[in-house]
Amino acid sequence: MLSLQAIPVGGRIQLSLQSYQEQPHLIESLIVRSAVAIEVEEIFKATGAMLEGHFLLSSGLHSPIYWEKFQVLQYPHYTEQLCQMIARHFQDQAVKLVAGPTTGGVLLAYEVARQLGVRSIYAEKEGGTRVFRRGLSISPGERTLVVDDVLTTGGSINEVINAVTTRGGKVIGVAVLVDRSQGKVDFGLPLFSCYQTSAPNYKPEDCPLCAAGVPLMEPGRGKG
């Protein structure tokens, strides 16, 4: 079955004849999804959030593309628009709580929860993992949606999922603004992304930018 989220950068649609014959409604869905992908890409471009260079990602990988989500999140109307996509996708899933990791996930969890009419909480770093502090609670079996900004290896999201389940909550799905994992991450849960990209990621020892002597930048740390 063709995934409705597998929309290439630039909005080009690829659909096999067999898939179309078996499920003709996919064409209309793909066109809508492609238009949304282009709209999201324009938001990131308009805010200067798509950076090119040689970047160290929070995952430890290197990439020529960096998505500076805070260039988007500084604008409430853009944040509301993107979170509305997430809220609409999960509006029929009886979500009772939205959880995210610090720092970008705090803003996203709050706005998605606001639109769904539920609570939001956030997980902070502590001892190499993430925990809920400051008296934030989860009821046994509470249906929880986990949200984050950019998905690469899924480390932060997995930490939030573990924090939720440790407290007895039930994670029903994951949502991100940008999925750059190229399908290599599987949480065993429904995953929704506002935008997918095929931007390459490299292990430091295999990075062609390092080999070419391109200076490495660390976004979010000082002036880098």
pLDDT confidence of residue 37: 79
Beta strand residue intervals within 132-209, DSSP E: 143-151, 170-179, 191-196
Q: Helices 76-89 and 25-46 meet at what angle, rounded to 10?
A: 160
- Among the listed residues 79, 61, 40, the one whose alpha carbon sits nearest the alpha carbon of residue 184: 61
Task: Give the residue-averaged pLDDT of 189-212.
Answer: 93
Q: Where in the chain is the domain with CATH 3.40.50.2020?
A: 75-199
**At 169, is the pLDDT very low, low, confident or very high (cuts 50, 70, 90)?**
very high
123 pLDDT above the threshold of 80? yes
- Among the listed residues 32, 27, 31, 33, the one whose alpha carbon sits nearest the alpha carbon of residue 15: 27
Average pLDDT, the chain: 86
pLDDT confidence of residue 23: 57
Helical ranges in the chain per DSSP H: 17-22, 25-46, 70-73, 76-89, 104-116, 155-166, 208-211
Q: Are 180 and 201 in contact (CB under 8 A)?
A: yes
- For the stretch 211-218, contacts whose Cβ atoms lie closer than 8 Å and that sit 24 or more positions apart, written own/partner, are 214/53, 214/54, 215/54, 216/54, 216/55, 216/56, 216/62, 217/53, 217/54, 217/55, 217/56, 217/66, 218/55, 218/56
Task: Give the residue-averaged pLDDT of 156-163.
Answer: 97
pLDDT confidence of residue 28: 54
CA distances from 117 to 87, 91, 94, 120, 136 (A): 10, 10, 11, 10, 17
Q: ∠ CA 151-78-92 to the nearest 5 degrees? A: 65
The first and second tokens of residue 106, run together, are 């705090």
- Residue 60 CA to residue 66 CA, distance in Å, equals 13
pLDDT in tens, 136-153: 999 999 999 999 999 989
Q: Which residues contact 207 (CB under 8 A, 6 or more apart)?
A: 54, 62
The first and second tokens of residue 222, run together, are 């000082």
Domain 75-199 fold is Rossmann fold (3.40.50)
